[in-house]
Amino acid sequence: MPKEILINNQVIKPGKEAEVNLNVYRLPTRTIMEIPVHVFRSVEDGPVLLLTAGLHGDETNGIEIVRQLIRGNYFKNLLKGSVLAMPIINIISFLNGSRDLPDGKDLNRCFPGSQSGSLGSRIAYDIMNEILPQVDFGVDFHTGGAKINNYPQVRCVFSDNRNLELAKLFGSPFIIDSGYREKTFRHEAAKKGKAILVYEAGESMRFNKLAIDEGVNGCLRLMKNLGMIDAEVPSCDTHIIGDTTWVRADMSGLFRTMKKYGSAVKKNEVIGTISDPYGE
- Whether the link from the prior residue into 112 is cis, omega within 30° of 0, is yes
pLDDT tens for 190-212 read 999 999 999 999 999 999 999 99
Residue 190 lies in a domain: yes
**For the chain, what percent of residues have pLDDT higher than 90?**
91
Check residue 128 and report its DSSP letter: I
Residue 255 lies in a domain: no
Question: What values do phi and psi take at 168, rounded to 5?
Answer: -70, -35
How much is the pLDDT for 113? 98
Residue 273 lies in a domain: no
Question: What is the domain-level CATH number for residue 100?
Answer: 3.40.630.10
Residue 106: is its pLDDT beyond 80? Answer: yes
Average pLDDT score, the chain? 96
pTM: 0.96
Residue type (1 letter), 274: I
Structural domain containing residue 184? 5-248
- Name the residue with higher pLDDT: 3 or 191: 191
pLDDT tens for 39-84 read 999 999 999 999 999 999 999 999 999 999 999 999 999 999 999 9
Residue 93 lies in a domain: yes
How much is the pLDDT for 166? 98
pLDDT tens for 140-179 read 999 998 889 999 999 999 999 899 999 999 999 999 999 9
DSSP string, 228-256: S----------EEES-------SS-SEEE
pLDDT confidence bin for 2, thresholds 50/70/90: confident
Residue 258 lies in a domain: no
Residue 1: is its pLDDT beyond 80? Answer: no
**Whose CA is closest to 155, among 140, 137, 136?**
140
Residue 242 lies in a domain: yes
How much is the pLDDT for 221? 98
What stretch of H or E contains 108? none
Residue 264 lies in a domain: no
Residue 270 lies in a domain: no
How many domains in the chain? 1
How much is the pLDDT for 84? 99
Check residue 132 and report its DSSP letter: G
pLDDT tens for 261-280 read 999 999 999 999 999 999 87
Residue type (1 letter), 127: I
